[in-house]
Structure 1
Amino acid sequence: MTQIRQRAVVFADLRGSTALFENLGNAEATSVVTHTIGLMRQSIEACGGRVVKTLGDGLMAVFEYPSDALSAAVAMHDALGQLVEQGRQRGASPGLRSLRLQVAMSFGEVVDMAGDCFGDAVNVAARLLDHAGDNETLVTAEFHAELAPAERTRFRSLDGIKVRGRVEPVHVHVLDAPVRDTDGAATQFGDAAFSPPAPDGIRLTWLDNERVFDIEQLPIVLGRSTEAAFCITDARVSRSHARIDWHAGSYTLTDLSFNGSYVRFGTSGEVLPLRRNSCTLHGSGSIGLGSSPAELDAPVVRFEVLHFADTLPHLR
């Protein structure tokens, strides 16, 4: 029987399983992934949701109420965090410690047919997952509007993001939550020790393409897609490779790719690898998309965080 209902749609994807199979072998890695997906299913069902189907290393679920879907997303992140922490304490392999979870959620009309779900809300949530960073939860404006006022304050707006298959940008919000970083790389090289005054803009340069963005134009998606805010037409670059947004008074770069992004501050500083995680951009430097900026032929975007007096001569 076909039914049309208003539903919250959830897509969740487990990242890092490839490294898990390399480190543990097929049998043990399959057991870990199956156990983790089981924990995700338990979180969804405990919050009143229905798992529609599993998708490789992830799943799709629907909820009647977005508040319940939000509770499930938080529970899934917590469950994975506890699993990774237990693995770290027991000396588990780096593959297990590198597992990450991405969640994307939308709200709207859903066609429920033969146990599967279809419709625009399903398509948007599935494609929005491509824009989520490690341990990140993204939701559409429609989903956000259905939450209670106290729940809405837990999010920050990323404004419009170009989503594959949609003509108009999708207004997206990201859940503010502690990000578990097993290696501490981003903190070591970028975030914790640096507290600059709030910048007014950021200049990005790739070959002869130079643009200055202010905070009203964020988020900035860097990628090969012609719909990306800053397009890099290099085959080694993913369609949506990385995202720059504004958080706590700073520009933050989040890697969205399978090949990683690499940040070097200054011209000869140490290279910070990002694998589905984030770091704060400050000063100037370079971003290698898919390979280190130290490699001569790497697709590299130069960045410079600007203050008002610096941006005036460069505005177009």
Structure 2
Amino acid sequence: MTDIRERTVLFADLRGSTGLFETLGNAEATSVVTHTVGLISKAVDECGGKLVKTLGDGLMAVFEGPRDGIKSATRMHELLERVAARGKQHGASPGLRALRMQVALARGEVVEMGGDCFGDAVNVAARLLDHAGDNETLITAEVLAGLPSNLKARFRSLDLIAVRGRAEPVHVHVLDKPSQGDVAATQFGEVRHATSEPDGIRLIWMDLDRVFDVGHMPIVLGRSVQATYCITDGRVSRSHARIDWHGGTFSLTDLSYNGTFVRFGAAGEILSLRRGSCTLHGSGVIGLGGPPTDALAPAVRFEVLHFADTEPLVGVDSGLTRRG
């Protein structure tokens, strides 16, 4: 029987499972991943949703309304945190601590047939996962519109994002996490706060030299021709990394399988994001698919710009300098 209804579609994808197979072996890792997916799937039933199917290390579910879908996504993250906490116990596999999850939701007319679901909302939710960072929840404007005001306030806009296979871009919002400080950004030195908010950011890769102001956010760096900053290199994912504007700073999030690496200054230590995020400050180099020291990996030079006191950037092999 075919049924067509308005639905909120949720996709969840578990990351870090590859490391489990490397450390635990196939049999035990399969058991852990299956158990973890089964655990987070309980959040679907708890919140009145319908589990459509599991997808190896992920799942798909549908909900009557957006609020239940968001409630379920939040619950999934809570359940995964419990799994990660077990990895800190004595004798537990360190791979458990590396487990992360991405969740994406879209809303629209869905065709339910033969126990499966089809439609534009299904396609959009599935492909939004490409743009989600570790433990992020992304939603479309249609999902946001169905939320009460107190829940809407927990989301911030990422503006229009080009989604693979869709001609029209999608207005995407991300669920903000409670502020815990920017640990990643400060591991290798203090963030240099300017007296005013940045006006823009400059990116240079080969002859692709562009300046983006805050109105251009988010910037997607990737191999896809739909990426905001297109880097045609085989080591770069279609949507490799994303630069957001939030709280008066630029934030870089790795979305890739090969990793994103950041070096601040001309000779600073290298920060490996690996599906994580950091605040961009000053100037430096972003390595896509390999650290900046890897001659084969594309390296994008960046500078956070304050137009009142920053001179144009000129590149050198080891980093960035200013004219003076």
1:10-56 CA distances to partner (integer Å, 9 max, x unpaired)? 00000000100111112221121111111111011100011101111
Is the CA contact (8 Å cut-off) linking 1:221 and 1:230 kept in structure 2? Answer: yes
- Aligned partners of 2:187 and 2:213: how far apart in 1? 27
Q: CA deviation at 1:86?
A: 2.2
Q: Assess, with a 3 A threshold, how the Cα gap between structure 1 residues 313 and 96 changes in structure 2: closer, same or farther.
A: closer
| Conserved 8 A contact 1:11-1:59 | yes
Correspondence for 1:73: 73
SS of the residue 1:308 aligns to = coil
Q: Tell whether 2:190 aligns with 1:198.
A: no
Give, as a single letter, the amino acid of the residue that structure 2 aligns with 1:227: Q
1:48 and 2:51 correspond: no
Residue 263 (1) aligns with residue 272 (2): no
Q: State the alpha-carbon separation in 2 of the partners of residues 156 and 140 from structure 1.
A: 11
Distance 1:111 1:162, change over 3 A: same
Name the SS for the 1:173 alignment partner: strand
Deviation at 1:308, TM superposition (A): 2.2
User: What does residue 119 of structure 1 align with?
Assistant: 119
The letter of the residue matching 1:129 is L
Bigger mean CA deviation after superposition, 278-287 or 35-44: 35-44
**C-alpha separation in 2, matches of 1:162 and 1:193:** 31
Letter aligned with residue 236 of structure 2 = V
Matched, 1:153 2:153: yes
For structure 2, the 5+ residue unaligned runs are: 314-324
Q: For residues 288-312 of structure 1, what are the alpha-carbon distances to aligned partners after superposition, in whole Å with 9 as ceiling and x for unaligned?
A: 0000001223201000000122578
Q: Structure 1: 5+ residue runs without aligned partners?
A: none
What amino acid is the match of 1:97? R
Count of aligned positions: 311
Change (3 A) 1:33 1:194: farther
Q: Which letter maps to 1:66? A: P
- 1:82 CA drift (Å): 1.5
Amino acid of the structure 2 residue aligned with 1:299: P
- Partner of residue 137, structure 1: 137
After TM superposition, the score normalised by the length of structure 2 is: 0.92
Partner of 2:251: 252
The residue aligned with 1:12 is 12
Query: Aligned equivalents of 2:309 and 2:229: distance in 1?
Result: 21
Structure 1 residue 194, shift from structure 2 partner: 5.0
Distance 1:237 1:310, change over 3 A: farther
Residue-by-residue CA offset, 1:104-130 (whole Å, 9 max, x unaligned): 000111001111000000000011111
Match of 1:58, as an amino acid? G
Do the aligned partners of 1:81 and 1:180 also contact (CA within 8 Å) in 2?
A: no
- Kindly indicate whether the alpha-carbon contact (under 8 Å) linking 2:136 and 2:175 is maintained by their aligned counterparts in 1: yes
Give the 3 Å change call, closer, same or farther, for CA 194–37 of structure 1 in structure 2: farther
Query: What SS is found at the alignment partner of 1:80?
Result: helix
CA shift in 2, pair 1:271/1:131, >3 Å: same
Q: What are the superposed Cα offsets for residues 260-310 of structure 1, whole Å, 9 maximum, x if unpaired?
A: 000000010000001111000000000000000012232010000001225
Match of 2:319 in 1: none
* Aligned CA distance change for structure 1 residues 266 and 164 (closer, same or farther; 3 Å): same
Letter in 2 for 1:149: S
- Distance in 2 separating the partners of 1:180 and 1:39: 26
Task: Render the CA deviation track for 1:225-271: whole Å, top value 9, x for unaligned.
Answer: 11100011111111110000012111000000000000000010000
Cα distance in 1 between the residues matched to 2:185 and 2:269: 12
Counterpart CA distance in 1 for 2:191 and 2:92 is 29
Partners of 1:200 and 1:185 in 2: CA distance: 23
Q: Which residue of 2 aligns with 1:297?
A: 296
Greater displacement, 250-259 / 87-96:
87-96
Kept after mapping to 1: 8 A contact 2:51/2:62: yes
Aligned equivalents of 2:159 and 2:184: distance in 1? 28
Counterpart amino acid of 1:59? L
CA contact (8 A) 2:264 2:270 kept: yes
